[in-house]
């Protein structure tokens, strides 16, 4: 079955860059779907960060766009997140997830159907 696994440092200093990777198994990233990042600060709700297609096409949350870069490595079947100039407000559990993206009669569609288990990232000196 399709599985996603996040990895990366659990502690990042303020003003530095947060870097995470999501390894995909059981499915080839190049076969389709978009691949996204979502985060959840402690005790708070979900926030979409951005998504990427295997071609490199990206969509970003407008509120984070200036600090976010999402990239894909099809040879390793993984995709990555970089978030620059982090502050304590970026402390959160970071999830990677898969979703389709398209247009149908009822509008745009694309639910996050498979999620990684999440990884906690704390921003602190």
Partner 1 sequence: QSVLTQPPSVSAAPGQKVTISCSGSSSNIGNNYVSWYQQLPGTAPKLLIYDNNKRPSGIPDRFSGSKSGTSATLGITGLQTGDEADYYCGTWDSSLSVFYVFGTGTKVTVL
Any contact of residue 109 with partner 1 (CB under 8 A)?
A: yes
Does 117 interact with partner 1 (rule: CB under 8 A)? yes
Contact letters (x/-) for partner 1, 30-69, by CB under 8 A?
Answer: ------x-x------xxxx--x-------xxxx-------
Confirm or reject binding of residue 89 to partner 1 (CB under 8 A): no
Supply the minimum distance, in Å, between the C-beta of residue 119 and partner 1.
10
Contacts (Cβ under 8 Å, ≥6 apart) of 17: 82, 83, 84, 85, 86
How far is the C-alpha of 112 from the C-alpha of 82, rounded, in Å? 20
Q: The dihedral of CA 64, 68, 74, 77: what is its sign?
A: negative
């Amino acid at each position: 079955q399709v599985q996603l696994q996040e990895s990366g440092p659990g502690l990042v200093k303020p003003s530095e860059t947060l870097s995470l990777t999501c390894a995909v198994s059981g499915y080839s990233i190049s076969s389709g779907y978009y691949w996204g990042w979502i985060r959840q600060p402690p005790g708070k709700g979900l926030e979409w960060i951005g998504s990427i297609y295997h071609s490199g096409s990206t969509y970003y949350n407008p509120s984070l766009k200036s600090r976010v870069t999402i990239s894909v490595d099809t040879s390793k079947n993984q995709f990555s997140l970089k978030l620059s100039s982090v502050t304590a407000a970026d402390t959160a559990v970071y999830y990677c997830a898969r979703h389709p993206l398209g247009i149908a009669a009822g509008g745009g569609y694309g639910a996050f159907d498979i999620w990684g288990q999440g990884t906690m990232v704390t921003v602190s000196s």
